[in-house]
Amino acid sequence: MDELEIDAVAEVELDDPVLVEGLPGVGHVGKLAADHVLEECEAESTLVRRVYSREFPPQVTVEDGVADLTCAEVHAVENATPDGRDLLVLIGDHQAQSNAGHYVLADAFLDVAAEFGASEVYALGGIPTGELIDEYAVLGAVSDESMIDPLEEVGVEFREDEPAGGIVGVSGLLLGLGDRRGFQVSCLMGETSGYLVDPKSARAVLEVLEELLGLELDYGSLDDRADEMEDVIGKIQEMEQQRSMDVPSDDDLRYIG
């Protein structure tokens, strides 16, 4: 296999499509969000491209005993917005394993977007806070300053020097490489602890995307996953409280003899 192979699964004619990227990252926020868009738009979606690369981990996925080589997928969703715009939704279970591989894959994803006539990109992801949170803000980064105001109008925050250290992986490169290739790119990052898969953060990001594109999404299945994670968090907090109670005090440590 070559370093990169793109399989044309289907051909469709799209109307001013928008590329939405959601690959695994902090809290799996972007992946959860993009997967949910496809789940909600399943009837209108078509798998159009598979992207294979030696930069993905050396493994296959197995479903009902049938193996498939790891890849990223691009799905087309027709008439996704009230004004008739279409979507290209990029999903997958992995990112590249090397710095060079991130560049190879990000360029390939932009090639696919350009092939279908897309000029606008939304990269979805998470930004870690290091602690459990109740209110989920969505932070933004854009390829051009003129794009800030429309995002702020729907509640996206732009904070000085955040995210600290910049944006790594495909989402960051879509911003950088996309700008150089003439794409308008926005990165929407939901705050998340960074410790667990975070459906609530994914919902916060999707609610912003709904406002921007006029999507209509139901969040029932995502809320169910959020409830499951709340149960997990509750159990973790109980265990931490129990451990703190089991730590011996100074009085307990006194020698008695």
pLDDT over threshold 50, residue 173? yes
CATH of the domain at 120: 3.40.50.10900
Residue 249 is predicted with a pLDDT of 56
Number of domains in the chain: 1
Instruction: List the single range of 19-28, 113-122, 153-162, 235-244 with lowest mean pLDDT.
Output: 235-244
Classify residue 152: in a domain, yes or no. Answer: yes
> Would residue 28 count as lying in a domain?
yes
In contact, 190 and 133? CB cutoff 8 Å? no
pLDDT at 251: 57
Q: Is there a domain that residue 233 lies in?
A: no
Q: Is residue 240 part of a domain?
A: no
**Mean of the pLDDT values across residues 47-63?**
96
Which pair of tokens denotes residue 199? Answer: 């459906």
Length of the chain: 257
Q: Which of 114, 128, 95, 122 is nearest to 213 (CA)?
A: 122
**Global confidence as pTM:** 0.90
Q: Cβ distance 17 to 85 under 8 Å?
A: yes
In a domain, 129, yes or no: yes
Peptide bond into 199 cis (omega under 30): no
- Residue 22 pLDDT level (bands cut at 50, 70, 90): very high
Which helix (H) or strand (E) segment holds residue 139: the answer is strand 138-142
What's the pLDDT tens digit per position in 42-52? 888 999 999 99
Paired sense of beta strands 18-22 and 87-92, if any: parallel
Q: Which domain holds residue 199?
A: 4-220
Q: For residue 39, is it within any domain?
A: yes
Whether residue 122 is contained in a domain is answered as yes
Asked whether residue 134 is assigned to any structural domain, the reply reads yes
